[in-house]
Amino acid sequence: MSAITFVLTSAASKRLIAKAVVAMPEVQRAHRQGRLIVAGGTTNAYIAEELTGAHVEKVRYTAGIVTESKWGLTPIETRLKPLAFEAGSASQRTWQEVLQDFTAQDVFIKGGNALDPAGNVGVLVGGKNGGTIGASYGHIVALGAHLILPVGLEKLIPSVPIAAKALGHAPLDAPHGMPCGLFPVAYGTVVTEVAALRQLYGLDAVHVHSGGVGGSEGAVGLVAYGDEGACSRLRADLAALLKEKPVDTGSR
Q: How many domains does the chain have?
A: 1
Q: Tell me whether residue 48 is in a domain.
A: yes
Q: Tell me whether residue 86 is in a domain.
A: yes
- The 8-class DSSP code of residue 156 comes to B
Domain that holds residue 56: 24-192
Q: Tell me whether residue 102 is in a domain.
A: yes
Work out the end-to-end distance of the chain between its first and last CA atoms, rounded to an integer number of angstroms: 46
pTM more than 0.85:
yes
Mean pLDDT (the chain) is 93
Q: Which helix (H) or strand (E) holds 234?
A: helix 228-241
For residue 136, the SS3 value is: helix
Q: Tell me whether residue 114 is in a domain.
A: yes
What does the pLDDT read at residue 248? 81
Q: Give, to the nearest 10 degrees, the angle between helix 228-241 and helix 193-201.
A: 120
Write the pLDDT tens digit of every residue in 162-212. Answer: 999 998 866 655 556 788 899 999 999 999 999 999 999 999 999 999 999
Q: Tell me whether residue 134 is in a domain.
A: yes
Q: Tell me whether residue 224 is in a domain.
A: no
Write the pLDDT tens digit of every residue in 71-83. Answer: 888 888 889 999 9
Q: Tell me whether residue 46 is in a domain.
A: yes
Q: Tell me whether residue 106 is in a domain.
A: yes
